[in-house]
Amino acid sequence: MKLDFPRYIERIGAVNINSIQKVYELDSGKSEEYHNTYRTIRKINDEELLDIFNKLAIIIPIKDEKLKLLEGVLSGIPHDCLVIIVSNSQRYPIDRFKMECDILQQFTRFVDRDAIIIHQKDPVLADIFRDLEYTSILDGDIVRDGKAEGMIIGMIIAKMLNKEYVGFVDADNYVPGAINEYIKIFGSGILMSQSPYSMIRISWLYKPKIVGKSFYFAKWGRISDVTNRYLNEVISYHTGFETEIIKTANAGEHALSMKLAELLTYSSGYSIEPYEIVNIIEEFGCILPSKYPDVIQKEGVEILQIETQNPHIHEDKGNEHLSRMLKESLSCIYFSKICNKSIRWKIIKELRSAKAITHDQLSPLPTIKPFNTIDIQKFANRIGDSTIRFYGNMERYIKYYTV
């Protein structure tokens, strides 16, 4: 893969937000002939990527998606990445979770690789979280519904298995080749990052729609366009310089180093992606008191945004779904202490005109505390293979995991 270095960087305290980088070649040929020093383009070799893939867990949150799409997504994930599926699919009257398990088992057997699947609503998982005092992920006596909650469970399992990086891909993607590119971008971004506390966010080249009888290659999704604008307003307010740096506010496809992932506070459901950026600025932007002064002093945090060559084609879940996503995305900005009164007022106006709220009042979404507060060995000791299902070669994981 060949991609360029960022052209400029927005700095807020100890946070570096890089401008969009572009993929020039999906496959960049032999390694010897190219020297990376002093160039504007970085060549990433296959061997470098393979090394990262061995340390990378790919988490797929899934809720009642078409199984054919899941099969396609699995086929696009590079062989050496560990797959972790966290499902919130229905169990009754049809057990869709069981169907997902069957597909995963068959897939791992045929291609000879490792994968894990777990159900978000497994009562044993909720019991473990309660006993380990990680209750912010619960709703009563069970894990709360929501994509964020699924992603966090995946990250905790990845940490238990000593993975150094986590990446996320949605289960409803129609193009396996795009999934493959996203994950190569995750690996390339990790290799290009200057800080061990890094996040790599995917920006799609296009998100095609069918308009009339032909394709229209839209650049921005309807929600990300708005969320980008408000995040940029917040950053501009604090730096005093107007910016358009954020282009990936709602990037469902993104990756994090485990070092950064375990420090963040997360926001529930679909607000997780914009709130990751908000929380990074809250914790490391030197605007509010931080829980992590050491990271601010030493390495800092880096956010990379990388544009694909593949278009993004996924399931269209309708207007009501988009409206909910808009409300959740803007709500997590609205309630942050880094937001100001005038931006809050504009958010309310925006949500009212989009008919996402009927009254002026917004309520805060639940937040989920950093998972570095969990004793991971105790988690590993408690979780059994009736809750977490391993397919493939379990042997290599057994040392982290005692039934």
Residues that bind ligand GDD (CB under 6 A): 61-63, 65, 86-88, 120, 145-147, 150, 170-172, 221, 224, 250, 252, 270, 273, 314-315, 317, 321
Q: In angstroms, what is the minimal distance from the CB of 140 to ligand GDD?
A: 16
Tell me the sheet residues that pair with 166.
57, 256
3-state secondary structure of 11: strand
How many CB atoms sit inside 10 A of residue 147's CB? Answer: 24
Whichever of 14 and 169 has its CB closer to ligand GDD, that residue is 169
From 219, 330, 211, 207, select the one nearest 275 (Cα to Cα): 330
The string of DSSP letters for 272-284 reads: HHHHHHHHHHHHH
Cα dihedral 59, 63, 64, 70, rounded to 10, equals -10
Q: Which two tokens stand for residue 391?
A: 């397919």
Q: In angstroms, what is the minimal distance from the CB of 133 to ligand GDD?
A: 23
Q: In angstroms, what is the minimal distance from the CB of 201 to ligand GDD?
A: 11
Whichever of 217 and 345 has its CB closer to ligand GDD, that residue is 217
Whichever of 252 and 392 has its CB closer to ligand GDD, that residue is 252
Whichever of 182 and 335 has its CB closer to ligand GDD, that residue is 182
Whichever of 8 and 210 has its CB closer to ligand GDD, that residue is 210
Q: Give the Cα separation of 189 and 5 in Å (integer).
A: 10
How many CB atoms sit inside 10 A of residue 29's CB? Answer: 12
Q: In angstroms, what is the minimal distance from the CB of 297 to ligand GDD?
A: 32
Whichever of 183 and 192 has its CB closer to ligand GDD, that residue is 183
Q: Which two tokens stand for residue 402?
A: 């005692």
From 53, 44, 56, select the one nearest 5 (Cα to Cα): 44
Whichever of 18 and 203 has its CB closer to ligand GDD, that residue is 203
Q: Give the Cα separation of 108 and 76 in Å (integer).
A: 13
Give the E-state strand segments of 219-356 in sequence order.
Answer: 254-257, 266-267, 301-307
Whichever of 193 and 227 has its CB closer to ligand GDD, that residue is 227
User: Residue ranges of the alpha helices (H) in 86-217?
Assistant: 96-111, 123-131, 147-160, 176-192
Q: In this chain, which residue has its C-beta nearest to ligand GDD?
A: 252
Q: In angstroms, what is the minimal distance from the CB of 146 to ligand GDD?
A: 5
Q: In angstroms, what is the minimal distance from the CB of 150 to ligand GDD?
A: 3
Q: In angstroms, what is the minimal distance from the CB of 326 to ligand GDD?
A: 10
* 18 exposure class (CB count in 10 Å sphere: 0-12, 13-18, 19+): buried
What Rg do the C-alpha atoms of the chain give, in angstroms? 21
Q: Give the Cα separation of 234 and 240 in Å (integer).
A: 10
Q: In angstroms, what is the minimal distance from the CB of 273 to ligand GDD?
A: 5
Q: In angstroms, what is the minimal distance from the CB of 18 to ligand GDD?
A: 20
From 128, 108, 124, select the one nearest 116 (Cα to Cα): 108
Whichever of 164 and 225 has its CB closer to ligand GDD, that residue is 225
Whichever of 172 and 181 has its CB closer to ligand GDD, that residue is 172
Helix (H), strand (E) at residue 58 = strand 56-62
Q: In angstroms, what is the minimal distance from the CB of 148 to ligand GDD?
A: 8
Q: In angstroms, what is the minimal distance from the CB of 234 to ligand GDD?
A: 18
From 134, 180, 154, 139, select the one nearest 61 (Cα to Cα): 154
Q: How distant, in Å, are the alpha carbons of 279, 347, 351 from that of 342?
A: 20, 9, 14
